[in-house]
Amino acid sequence: MSVILYTIISIAIITIFIIFKRDALMSLPVFLLVLLVTLLPIGWAIFLSFFDLSAGGEADFVGGIYFQQVFADDGFKLSIRITSLWAFLKVSLEFIVSFYLALLLKETGKIGKFLLLMLGIGWFVPSYISVNAWRAMLLFIGRYLEHFGFGFNISLQPMAAFIASIIVNVLLSIPLTTFIIIAMLRNVPREIGDILAIDGCEDSIRASVYFGQIRYALIPFYFFQYVRAFKGFSTIYLLTGSGPIVPGGFTPRTLVGSTSTLGIVLYQKFSLYENYGMLSAYSLVTGIFLMIWILVAFISRFRVPARHRLVLIIASGVHIMSAFYLKWNIHLFTLSLLYFLLIWLIPYYKRVFRVLAILVMAYDAGFFLLQLLRYGWSGIEPSTLISLPALLLSLRYRLPVPNFSVPVLLKQSFKFLIPFISLFLLTYVVLLGLSVDNTPYPSGKWTLANLEKVFFVQKIWKNLFNTLWIAILSSTILFISIVPFSYVYTRSRKPLIKVVGVVILFGSIYAGMHTLLPLYEIFDRLKLTDTIFGVSLIVANQSLPIAFVVLSGFFSSIPREFREVAQLEGVGEYHYFRKVIVPLGLPVIFSVIIYNVVNAWNSFTIPLLFIESARLMPLSLKLFNYAGEIGSYYTKWNLFGAASIIGIIPVLFLFRYSERFLYARFLGEGGINYEQHF
């Protein structure tokens, strides 16, 4: 097996030098990084899924036996249902709140800038700190509510864990989503706002008009966020684990709780079994569901009628797939047939098509609700949660919007509430860190001994150093790989260069726990597991998409006359890149490096999978050891708070240096033009 891996990598290097020729040296680093971390795990998972392969053992061909096991795993099917509903509710709520908040904060006065600052701090605080703090707070709230006869326990009540995980994930996602929507809104001409004000339009009309202006970027972004939520792991795992067992969750192969999303289930199987063939089969089936949503996101950018036709094909296909894979139901077959028949009405009967489409969708929604009420968790229908958002956002029915405004007091309260939740959470973490007692509710007795203990006695500075080393090494890898390739991309017309660019942009959308598991097997054979370098490679690869968008956009804005003058002076390509392009791009490169450092500092899932030695443990795993899993009895909340205080301080300094990168409108300013790249 190891020989196969080395052969693939060697062939890739030779291919690069043959095809790219003079651009080979500048393209080789990023090509190898993408091949190793993005593409190879997918191909390796396909290959391994037909073999019985344990850690350190020999591979035995078993055919499709593991796919049969996946198709017979009722617990895995239940996890697909729970994941679909969880992702739909989380992303929908996140977008409703973020869009309205972005409308309120898009004009940045002094108060607006302060609120954006508070909102940004909430995004920069690592999730392994904020989620564990939320967990402590929810435990405190649950105990407090018990005195009034209200039961709310995320470790015992399935619905409480499900709802809490959605709310906390939404609150943690709102800052970044709001920043992105603000960037979209700032591309809307100011004249539109002036016209709306002159016409006396209230909040509802303004929201409708602004949504129409940015919908071509916002709708694909919604579906991409759905993909990210569908493969989510770290925040759910830290808050509730797999959740309390739901009815029907006791199955022979998989135990399913109310927050047993696909990422959680795959990680549990990785922890319990060492059969990479079986894990690869589960990973591939998970990847198929993700690909459906990625297709929907791409199709949402198409024009009518092609968009309607393709969305209806997907709606028909997912219903019939659900009928055969999850559970046979005549209504699913009927809905699949109806969606398919609607395709033939598009070019001939536009009005009839739109009326019949809404009737079929109403039938689909009614079927979903009846199944949910009748069977509970087992009645969640994923095909409906794919079809309805895709069709509604494709057809985009024009409905009359009443002209009304939210009361000023309520509006101002909402504008301040979300940003100040971040401040409240930070205050709570500080109080935990200064508390004498090891409880999730600060006792009122304060001490600095916790800070001294975690820093000097338990030597958390070593974990900080490991985290810093990951940040430095991943930033170096990112610089060596993406900076020269972004320059080559802006001036090359070779198709393969463009293909690599597409893989960089959308490879991270597909990547998740289902690709990390086969990647672990690859790294294990290459002796890259339990190493800082291996973790740094993956962190750098995660930062590639945004770095590529920012840098390629900036390099394309540099006048071509610069290169023409350099050629007249006899300056070679590499010398011109090193002496002219890199110095001009230093501010943008620095912004990209800051982004990667924050990404490395926030990393939790990758070290959890790839780091085993205590001496290599980064800050995220050390804090996880203090907080423990949900329901653990060895949690040290006061030490967790003290370590969190130490871990937050560097992040806050980084945030101050990266504000321009967050709020900028255009690529030349160091930001992202979302309208072009979504």
3-state DSSP of 71-104: HHCHHHHHHHHHHHHHHHHHHHHHHHHHHHHHHH
Residue given tokens 């899932």 in the structure block: 605
Binned at pLDDT 50, 70 and 90, residue 666 comes out as very low
Q: Identify which of 79-88, 130-139, 321-330 has the greatest average pLDDT.
A: 79-88
Find the mean pLDDT for residues 613-620. Answer: 92
- What pLDDT is recorded for position 660? 54
Nearest to 455 by CA among 641, 643, 602: 643
Lowest mean pLDDT among 49-58, 68-77, 268-277, 420-429: 49-58
Amino acid in position 380: I
As a whole number, mean pLDDT of residues 234-240 equals 91
Which of 65-74, 157-166, 493-502 shows the lowest mean pLDDT across its residues?
A: 493-502
Residue 299, helix vs strand vs coil = helix
- Both tokens of 105, joined, read 């904060």
Q: State the Cα–Cα distance between residues 555 and 581, nearest whole angstrom.
A: 8
Residue scoring higher pLDDT (475 or 581): 475
At 545, is the pLDDT very low, low, confident or very high (cuts 50, 70, 90)? confident
Q: Is the pLDDT of residue 539 over 90?
A: yes
Indicate if the pLDDT at residue 92 is higher than 50.
yes
Task: Return the pLDDT at 676.
Answer: 36
Rounded to the nearest 10°, the torsion over CA 590, 594, 597, 598 is -170
532 pLDDT above the threshold of 90: yes
Q: What is the DSSP string of 150-171?
A: ----TTT-HHHHHHHHHHHHHH
554 band by pLDDT with thresholds 50, 70 and 90: confident
Using a 10 angstrom Cβ sphere, with 0-12 exposed, 13-18 middle and 19 or more buried, the burial of residue 81 is buried
CB 627 within 8 A of CB 546: no
- CA proximity to 68, closest of 308, 282, 317: 282
* Closest among 124, 132, 122 to 624, alpha carbons compared: 132
Mean pLDDT of 599-621: 91
668 pLDDT tier (thresholds 50, 70, 90): very low
Q: How confident is the model at residue 663 (pLDDT cuts 50, 70, 90)?
A: very low
pLDDT surpasses 80 at 605: yes
Pull the structure tokens for residue 232.
């989510």
Percent of the residues in the chain that have a pLDDT greater than 70, as a whole number: 90
Rg (CA), the chain: 26
Tell the residue number behind the tokens 């605080």, with chain if given: 125
Percent of the chain scored above 90 by pLDDT? 27
Query: How far is Cα 357 from Cα 268, in angstroms, rounded to an integer?
Result: 41
Which residues, in sequence order, are CB contacts of 152 under 8 Å at separation 6+? 138, 141, 142, 145, 160
> What mean pLDDT do residues 573-599 have?
81
Higher pLDDT, 188 or 365: 365
Q: Please state, in angstroms and rounded to a whole number, the distance separating the CA atoms of residues 218 and 602.
A: 26
pLDDT in tens, 627-644: 877 766 678 888 999 999
Q: Is a pLDDT exceeding 60 seen at residue 677?
A: no
Stretch among 97-111, 282-296, 367-381 having the lowest mean pLDDT: 97-111
pLDDT band at 659 (very low <50, low <70, confident <90, very high): low
Q: Tens of pLDDT along 102-137?
A: 888 877 667 777 777 777 777 778 888 888 888 888
Question: Cα 455 to chain center, whole Å?
Answer: 32
Average pLDDT, the chain: 83
535 Cβ neighbours under 8 A, 6+ residues apart: 470, 474, 603, 606, 607, 610, 611, 618
Sign of CA dihedral 286, 134, 652, 451: negative
pLDDT band at 657 (very low <50, low <70, confident <90, very high): low
Which whole number is the average pLDDT over 16-36?
73
Q: In this structure, is the dihedral angle defined by the CA atoms of residues 340, 228, 121 and 430, taken in order, positive or negative?
A: positive
CA distance 69 to 173: 35
